[in-house]
Amino acid sequence: MELLELLPDRETMYRAFEEKDASFEGIFFMGVRTTGIFCRPTCPAKKPKFENVEFFPRTGDALAAGYRPCKRCRPLEPKGSFPSWLSPLMSAVEEDPSQRWTSQDIRDFGVDPTRVRRWFKNEHGLTFLSYLRSRRLGQAFLRIREGAEVMETSLDVGFDSVSGFCDALRKRTGISPSSARKRHSLHVSQIASPLGPIIIAGDSEAIYLVEFWDRRMLETQFEILEKRLGAIFFPGTNPCIQNMEMELNAYFEGRLKRFETPIRFPGSPHQEKVWQTLIAVPYGETRSYAALSKEVGNADAVRAVARANGENRLAIVVPCHRIIGADGDLTGYGGGIWRKRYLLALEREASKS
């Protein structure tokens, strides 16, 4: 199937651009004939006339048609990745997350601190310094859970005093350091994908969440993990998250058909049975909700099975996108029908090779 056939209709895409609908990120790019530029759906530029636009499924298609990338929305940069001007600084942060950064340190990387702050506020809703502080707290939290002393830990991660560390931890998590050993901490990272940013949460042993950043249930999924695991979330990464990122990249390139990174999906016995059954649906194939119910072992519980399918918090990895209506309609996907169509088409094409 041609990628053009996977696009929504022109009216839907034009309306998505008009409304700056982030759920269409990665689905299409819009070329403006009167200016010769192409944009992503959330570009802040003024809306052009309907008759002056055309749509493309990939940036390469827009470039081949003679359009140049918009300087405002930068469509050649995957949404969710660090822009090129910020990447050197973030690489340094990853090398030593405990370092305390000053404005002069940031300038030494050839970057304006105000620009960094503005980018983090726009993309993540917090300042760069707040991000670094959360990273240091996350490191400290993990070490305390493993038995490290509070005083030693607070100094190692860059806090001037134990009291300052304890105050920061209480504000961030609502608990004291002495209670930290009883809690389950999860790192949370954002990666870029052809379908927009993906949020990954996991510890050093397994991944607990893989979800599109704009899904309405995302906040609810975090709350569920917090209640079921006693979990606290901190920005950062770990080998498990890095492995999942590599596997997702390989999946989107059509090179991976089965995920191997350990996953965990705590839920009710019914939910866990549905999710385990979903994993067994072969790559490149689909099942109806009724067929899935039979495989779960309760043919009369189609509605309950469909609900559990929608409550899956490991998008793509636990392939709820492979479940469709009995008539073939692509119904019921939390990430959006357009993403579901993209994923199924990707798998069909990759299965032919």
Q: Is 105 exposed, middle or buried (0-12, 13-18, 19+ CB in 10 A)?
A: middle
What sign has the CA pseudo-torsion 125, 129, 134, 135?
positive
| Rounded CA separation 256/39 (Å) | 30
Compute CA 78 distance to the chain's CA centroid, rounded to the nearest angstrom: 12
| Rounded CA separation 248/253 (Å) | 9
Strand order from edge to edge, sheet including 68-69: 53-56, 29-32, 37-39, 68-69
**CB-based contacts of 189, cutoff 8 Å, min separation 6:** 199, 200, 201, 235, 236, 237, 241, 245
Q: What is the largest CA-CA distance in the chain?
A: 66
Closest residue by Cα to residue 240 from 298, 309, 292, 189: 189
3-state secondary structure of 258: coil
| Rounded CA separation 285/269 (Å) | 25
Active-site residue (options: 43, 73, 240, 320): 320
Q: Does the annotation mark 320 as catalytic?
A: yes
CB 203 within 8 A of CB 185: yes
Using only C-alpha atoms, what is the Rg of the chain? 22
Residues belonging to the active site: 320
